[in-house]
Amino acid sequence: MNFYFQSVEDIFSAIKERQLSLLKEVLATEGEGEARFISLLNALQRVYEENRIYLKPLVIDYHSSMFSRAYRQMLKDALKRDGNFPVYPEDSREYIILDSVMSGYIEMLLQLLDSGSLSMEASFRLSHYTMEYGTKPALQSQLGIRVFNSQHQI
Residue 108, domain member (yes or no): yes
pLDDT surpasses 90 at 47: yes
Phi–psi pair at 147, nearest 5 degrees: -95, -40
Residue 82, domain member (yes or no): yes
Residue 63, domain member (yes or no): yes
The reported pLDDT for the residue numbered 62 is 81
Residue 1, domain member (yes or no): no
pLDDT surpasses 60 at 3: no
Residue 4, domain member (yes or no): no
| Rg of the Cα atoms in the chain | 17
Lowest-confidence pick of 4-8, 50-54, 82-86: 4-8
Residue 3, domain member (yes or no): no
The reported pLDDT for the residue numbered 123 is 86
The reported pLDDT for the residue numbered 153 is 44
Phi–psi pair at 33, nearest 5 degrees: 60, -145
Give the chain's length.
Answer: 154
The reported pLDDT for the residue numbered 151 is 47
Instruction: Say how many C-beta atoms besides its own lie within 10 A of residue 54's C-beta.
Output: 16
The reported pLDDT for the residue numbered 154 is 42
**What pTM, to 2 d.p., does this model score?**
0.80
The count of domains in the chain is 1
- Residue 5: pLDDT band with limits 50, 70, 90: low
The model's pLDDT over 58-91, given as tens digits with 9 standing for 90+, comes to 898 887 789 999 999 999 988 888 777 888 899 9
The reported pLDDT for the residue numbered 93 is 93
Instruction: Say how many C-beta atoms besides its own lie within 10 A of residue 67's C-beta.
Output: 18
Residue 153, domain member (yes or no): no
pLDDT surpasses 90 at 22: yes
Instruction: Say how many C-beta atoms besides its own lie within 10 A of residue 71's C-beta.
Output: 22
Q: Are 68 and 62 in contact (CB under 8 A)?
A: yes
The residue segments making up the domain with residue 23 are 9-143
